Structure 1
Amino acid sequence: MNTPGTALRSRNPRTARTPAPAPAAAPAGRQADGMAVASFVLGLVGLLAMNLLLGPASIVLATLALRRGTTRPGRARLGLVLGVADLVVLACLVSADQTWSWSIG
């Protein structure tokens, strides 16, 4: 006899159910969208601090997001532009002050 809450099990191997495969961690589209947003944020923060690290990271994430077919291509392109702007700001700082960071005062 079955107790409530238990499923009936078939003794016939042809009708026995196999467990469904585990779902993927995240769909590729969501990962690409996350990369586009991360690229934008890193590029924006990189204009103010750590442009040596955040600029290239923004460029790489934007490129990966665009290649994976993000649903937010505008945000990925903006992250790409901000990443390049980070490196341009860094080049201007190095050529003007011979420094790798912002200096106030």
Structure 2
Amino acid sequence: MNTPGTALRSRNPRTARTPVPAAAPAGRQADGMAVASFVLGLVGLLAMNLLLGPASIVLAALALRRGTTRPGRARLGLALGVADLVVLACLVSADRTWSWSIG
């Protein structure tokens, strides 16, 4: 029996309400994308240009589109992503192969 002042509890676990964690704000996600774009573009200059360059470009474009508070970082990630692909094109044309190594 329920007495006044006590809450009703659901006996079915599926219908019981559980707190749902709030999603991160869109601005915060865009800032994370801008930083990730910069880091991937920077690492892409040294290794895996073919994968990290386009990933950097896509993340930078998404960050700029979502209105990041770090547009400079996103633009730098975009430029580094393009530079990754330019470096890859230069090395491929010099070696005539898709794989390259330093030294």
TM-score by length of 2: 0.78
* 2:92–2:100 CA contact under 8 A, matched in 1: no
Over 3 Å counting, the alpha-carbon distance change for 1:3 and 1:47 in structure 2 is farther
**Radius of gyration: which is bigger?**
1
Whether the 8 Å CA contact 1:55–1:86 is kept in 2: the answer is yes
Identity %: 96
Is the CA contact (8 Å cut-off) linking 1:49 and 1:101 kept in structure 2?
A: no
Q: Give how far 1:63 is off.
A: 0.0
TM-score by length of 1: 0.77
Unaligned runs of 5+ in 2: none
Q: What is the aligned-residue RMSD (CA, Å)?
A: 5.5
Contact 1:36 1:79 in 2 (8 A): yes
Instruction: Please give the secondary structure, in 1, of the residue aligned with 2:22.
Output: coil
* Per-residue Cα deviation, 1:5-37 (whole angstroms, up to 9, x for no partner): 99999999999999xx84532000000000000
**Runs of 5+ unmatched residues, structure 1:** none
